A and B are shown apart, each in its own frame.
Chain A
């Protein structure tokens, strides 16, 4: 039989369903019900990886989420690669392909192993800080080498082929953990009518009961678990989530659950099923029944494969029918771990000895061991381990009563497996996520959840009550208390009986002494994943790190993917001992979400690819697509950027679009401009307060440009607002600023001036807006409307309702190009119709569509600003030379007025916006280029302002730029220089920002 460590019977595996899998390129067989770890142990695979720093061989230590060593790379194809999977939590399936993540070139023959052995002394704690710090520029190189050598798994290089999703859940009670305590809490609450979610990270409910030989209610524990689970599943108010890790416990009872839906079935989710689901739960109350992790003891060479947690050994025997060795030595500080020796013995393998650190152990389990003839060596410890790729023997010696030193001679025992137990640490992780500091409890020798502001109850081992009977009782109490808090009636639930086992007092011991001092003894590992040793922690303390948080960071203890689930408390205890203080005085580090690593797919869910962010399209989007538009993202909008013809470069297209507009007529889809409908008897007053200019006298039918400022006087948005009626206005904003402006208006109305009667409604999406611009635009418009749009009766900055192409429209005679220009607004669903009619009639005028880039060029030729491009929150209207848009004598002190008068805002040498003409007209300055007055100044050259807009103007046959220059408005005709990154020094002249038609004659026709 290839599975040499598999028992003939027993366990929760199905021997009739063999499964083949691959590990490091070799085929093995396991059974349905196995984890990858149990199947590897069944096959006698000792090595699962190499350690991070010293590259020492490592084997499986644990049987659950706390496993530090068996961290696997999974995946049969490139697209299905999953890094850092704990073999102890991965269920076996047929065809599973796995490999160790660290070990180079492979785990059995490891180059770094040699280096590690030679260089071990050269890698003390703080090694990375001390060694790889300088020069800083080399860090990227160091990091690559470190990562290749140590290996932390790798991401797939292809797109994930699976789908993931998310669910929002609400419940009365969220029960975390489905061991005896969690099951009882859920059962009690569910019977009382509460809406319950119960989640557990394992594939089956039952927690530790799955691994024990205990009875509940007089029957096998598993049978009781099955009956409770069945009742919960049948209750429509209960959501039962196996394979679901509650990964985070956040503010206001918000919990996140990572549910692995199909990762136990195949390499990729079968039949298009969901691979993993992320539940976002808002719970009225929470019961944490998260159990406890066994704490290993820290002793010399405690990382040789074959050294395991006692409870894990029992789990492999009882749950998986695997005895991971032949000769066991058990070292323990407590009675509980004796079960492991009994399980081992009862499986027919040899227990060499139970090494108990206590002088006089007496409990029922101790007696049971003695009755089986197992040697119990009291007052002793395993102080060292022999073997390199597998344990071959141990050194045992008697120790002092307080466990601080070796007192007797060293005796060697042969063994291939060492199980150790230093007691149990409550799983306080989730409780820590909420900001609660764990509290030390001397009686149970561990930290328990501390005070919390969350609506949270705890039950079972997490509270320090490690017995099954206690867990059942506490679970029931928690369920009943939750019902009471929820205002639901008490439920009639009897607490089932579990056997009480009389146990003697455990000993508080973490670090096993050696004959040599810690610094000279063989390595005694605290954190396997990060290779942190007891001597390393002592060294950190000696070097002056006294805060446990500093010790943690300096040694990297708890920084691995396992977050120090096994090692942290031992590390704190060692630091405390060295610093001569108690553990509570030393304090504890806390844990952060996530409890175990979670795949990014589950976090992203469906919010990827085209669903990552909404895309907004105008009503004419289809036409743009059909006519070859290139698009630009403006906020969530997809706006046409330019419309290239076949064979045209971008610049050629822009030149053609610019010329056609000024020569005849161009058309822009301006639908994305923000539009806010403002109504109410105080609307006009309100506008006067939020804009820099005056609105009191704007008559119905007229439009006005306005600058919107913040209280500091700086421009943050601009746009044209039109008077639709005495108490009715339409405000336009920049495309990207629409939501911000609406929020701004609401904020001032609701918080400062609620007495004003004014209402704001976003109507951006209600209207399709098309701007026709150019000398022939009136002719074209007249072909589509019978309304009078003549020069005399429809003046610049007028608007009027009209019928255009047979549909009702609002036409605004405003211009962002400096040309005769009409902005036609129609109900959005008429947009495409009107747009197409314009093209039908516009062909003879060479009607040319243009996008945002030509819009930018045309407005820059006129010196019109774009808020957000030419402004950056540090310029006020006078800096922009736009004092004409400020009305300082309005009765109300408008937003920005006082701010603009601050000392700094009235300095003469502020940076001011001007036009820039390069002396060589063919040079187009890069936007962002910094200007200097003296091109010969030494570096760092005094900078005088930067270019904000810069284009090639086909209409002017030269480059044009807008830029900020210190005191620029008084420097017309003077020189400014732009040193560029390519070494050129570009000479330029300061000029008016209005490059074309300074008198504005083109729009007044």
Chain B
């Protein structure tokens, strides 16, 4: 069970307080109507499944209800960093 630092509450809390919300940094196309079916399909359905570093969204569901980003190693389950929405990761796959 993970021990997750909420960047808004400023504390580590148990995983039970959080929900995972999937891959981070997927932006909704600004003009969906001009997207081809393929582009829209990529936005909706296609996700990475890396072995190693993964940037993902978590929400402090039973805490402050804030969404934030986590860089997590999918092999060791280490959390390398947490950062707020709109920020970019510092730890990235080489």
Are the CB atoms of B76 and A435 closer together than 8 Å? yes
B43 / chain A contacts, CB cutoff of 8 Å? 711
A453 / chain B contacts, CB cutoff of 8 Å? 73, 76-78
B9 within 8 A of A: no
B93 / chain A contacts, CB cutoff of 8 Å? none
Q: How far is the CA of A394 from the CA of B15 in the complex (A)?
A: 57
Question: Closest chain B residue to A451 by CB distance?
Answer: B76
Interchain residue pairs with CB less than 8 A apart (12): A251-B2, A254-B3, A435-B75, A435-B77, A453-B76, A743-B19, A743-B65, A747-B21, A750-B66, A897-B32, A898-B35, A902-B37
Are the CB atoms of B59 and A893 closer together than 8 Å? no
Question: Closest chain B residue to A253 by CB distance?
Answer: B3
Q: How far is the CA of A751 from the CA of B84 in the complex (A)?
A: 10
**Could you tell me which residues of chain B, from 18 to 72, have a CB within 8 Å of some CB in chain A?**
19, 21, 27-28, 31-33, 35, 37, 40-41, 43-44, 57, 59, 61, 65-67
A893 / chain B contacts, CB cutoff of 8 Å? 31-33
B86 within 8 A of A: yes
A754 within 8 A of B: yes
Are the CB atoms of A282 and B32 closer together than 8 Å? no
A251 / chain B contacts, CB cutoff of 8 Å? 1-3, 77
Are the CB atoms of A903 and B1 closer together than 8 Å? no
B79 / chain A contacts, CB cutoff of 8 Å? 252
A242 within 8 A of B: no
B-contact bits for A453-466, CB 8 A (1 contact / 0 none): 10000000000000
B-contact bits for A48-84, CB 8 A (1 contact / 0 none): 0000000000000000000000000000000000000
Question: Closest chain A residue to B39 by CB distance?
Answer: A898
Q: How far is the CA of A107 from the CA of B75 in the complex (A)?
A: 47
Are the CB atoms of B37 and A903 closer together than 8 Å? yes
Question: Closest chain A residue to B25 by CB distance?
Answer: A751
Minimum distance in angstroms from A676 CB to a CB of chain B: 12
Q: How far is the CA of A903 from the CA of B41 in the complex (A)?
A: 11
A902 / chain B contacts, CB cutoff of 8 Å? 37, 40-41
A853 within 8 A of B: no
Contact residue among B1, B41, B59, B85 (Cβ-Cβ distance under 8 Å from A754): B85
Contact residue among B33, B41, B44, B77 (Cβ-Cβ distance under 8 Å from A252): B77
Question: Closest chain B residue to A752 by CB distance?
Answer: B28
Minimum distance in angstroms from A670 CB to a CB of chain B: 25
A746 within 8 A of B: yes
B11 within 8 A of A: no
Known: A251-B77, A254-B3, A754-B85. 18 other contacts (CB 8 A): A251-B1, A252-B1, A252-B2, A252-B3, A282-B3, A282-B14, A435-B76, A453-B76, A711-B44, A743-B19, A743-B61, A743-B65, A746-B59, A746-B67, A747-B67, A754-B86, A897-B32, A898-B40
Minimum distance in angstroms from B64 CB to a CB of chain A: 10
Are the CB atoms of B1 and A250 closer together than 8 Å? yes
A-B residue pairs, 7 tightest by C-beta: A898-B32, A252-B3, A453-B76, A893-B32, A750-B67, A251-B77, A254-B1
**Could you tell me which residues of chain A, from 867 to 902, have a CB within 8 Å of some CB in chain B?**
893, 897-899, 902
Please report the number of residue pairs spanning A and B whose Cβ atoms sit closer than 8 angstroms: 61
Q: How far is the CA of A556 from the CA of B54 in the complex (A)?
A: 36
A607 / chain B contacts, CB cutoff of 8 Å? none
B85 / chain A contacts, CB cutoff of 8 Å? 750-751, 754
Q: Which B residues lie at the A interface, using CB under 8 A?
A: 1-3, 14, 19, 21, 27-28, 31-33, 35, 37, 40-41, 43-44, 57, 59, 61, 65-67, 73, 75-79, 85-86
Q: How far is the CA of A282 from the CA of B4 in the complex (A)?
A: 12
**Could you tell me which residues of chain A, from 892 to 930, have a CB within 8 Å of some CB in chain B?**
893, 897-899, 902-903
Question: Contact size class for A?
Answer: 20 to 34
Minimum distance in angstroms from B25 CB to a CB of chain A: 10
**Could you tell me which residues of chain A, from 283 to 322, have a CB within 8 Å of some CB in chain B?**
none
A712 within 8 A of B: yes
Q: How far is the CA of A987 from the CA of B59 in the complex (A)?
A: 50
Minimum distance in angstroms from A604 CB to a CB of chain B: 16
**Could you tell me which residues of chain A, from 244 to 283, have a CB within 8 Å of some CB in chain B?**
250-254, 282
Q: How far is the CA of A171 from the CA of B73 in the complex (A)?
A: 25
A435 / chain B contacts, CB cutoff of 8 Å? 75-77
Q: How far is the CA of A743 from the CA of B67 in the complex (A)?
A: 10
Q: How far is the CA of A252 from the CA of B14 in the complex (A)?
A: 10
Minimum distance in angstroms from A770 CB to a CB of chain B: 29
**Could you tell me which residues of chain A, from 725 to 748, have a CB within 8 Å of some CB in chain B?**
743, 746-747
Q: How far is the CA of A250 from the CA of B15 in the complex (A)?
A: 12
Q: How far is the CA of A752 from the CA of B43 in the complex (A)?
A: 13
Q: How far is the CA of A897 from the CA of B41 in the complex (A)?
A: 13
Question: Closest chain B residue to A746 by CB distance?
Answer: B65
A711 / chain B contacts, CB cutoff of 8 Å? 28, 43-44
Q: How far is the CA of A659 from the CA of B83 in the complex (A)?
A: 58
Q: How far is the CA of A747 from the CA of B59 in the complex (A)?
A: 9
Minimum distance in angstroms from A888 CB to a CB of chain B: 10
B31 / chain A contacts, CB cutoff of 8 Å? 893
Minimum distance in angstroms from A198 CB to a CB of chain B: 21
**Could you tell me which residues of chain A, from 662 to 694, have a CB within 8 Å of some CB in chain B?**
none
Q: How far is the CA of A251 from the CA of B35 in the complex (A)?
A: 41
Question: Closest chain A residue to B65 by CB distance?
Answer: A746
Q: How far is the CA of A750 from the CA of B43 in the complex (A)?
A: 18
Contact residue among A250, A254, A899 (Cβ-Cβ distance under 8 Å from B44): A899
Minimum distance in angstroms from A463 CB to a CB of chain B: 22
**Could you tell me which residues of chain A, from 692 to 721, have a CB within 8 Å of some CB in chain B?**
711-712
Are the CB atoms of B28 and A899 closer together than 8 Å? no
Question: Closest chain B residue to A453 by CB distance?
Answer: B76
Are the CB atoms of A712 and B78 closer together than 8 Å? no
B28 / chain A contacts, CB cutoff of 8 Å? 711, 752
Interface centre among B1, B37, B59, B73 (most CB of A within 10 A): B1
Q: How far is the CA of A305 from the CA of B3 in the complex (A)?
A: 48
Q: How far is the CA of A826 from the CA of B66 in the complex (A)?
A: 30
Minimum distance in angstroms from B32 CB to a CB of chain A: 4
Minimum distance in angstroms from B89 CB to a CB of chain A: 15
A254 / chain B contacts, CB cutoff of 8 Å? 1, 3
Q: How far is the CA of A435 from the CA of B75 in the complex (A)?
A: 9
Q: How far is the CA of A651 from the CA of B61 in the complex (A)?
A: 41
Q: How far is the CA of A986 from the CA of B51 in the complex (A)?
A: 53
Q: How far is the CA of A743 from the CA of B61 in the complex (A)?
A: 8
Minimum distance in angstroms from A702 CB to a CB of chain B: 29
Q: How far is the CA of A252 from the CA of B72 in the complex (A)?
A: 12
Q: How far is the CA of A711 from the CA of B27 in the complex (A)?
A: 13
Interface centre among B35, B73, B76, B79 (most CB of A within 10 A): B76
Q: How far is the CA of A661 from the CA of B79 in the complex (A)?
A: 58
Question: Closest chain A residue to B4 by CB distance?
Answer: A252
A712 and B44 in contact, given A251-B77, A752-B28 (Cβ under 8 angstroms): yes
Minimum distance in angstroms from A442 CB to a CB of chain B: 27
Question: Closest chain B residue to A252 by CB distance?
Answer: B3
Question: Closest chain B residue to A710 by CB distance?
Answer: B44
Q: How far is the CA of A254 from the CA of B15 in the complex (A)?
A: 11
Are the CB atoms of B37 and A899 closer together than 8 Å? no
Are the CB atoms of B33 and A898 closer together than 8 Å? yes
Are the CB atoms of B67 and A751 closer together than 8 Å? yes
Minimum distance in angstroms from A269 CB to a CB of chain B: 28
A751 and B44 in contact, given A251-B77, A435-B76, A903-B37 (Cβ under 8 angstroms): no
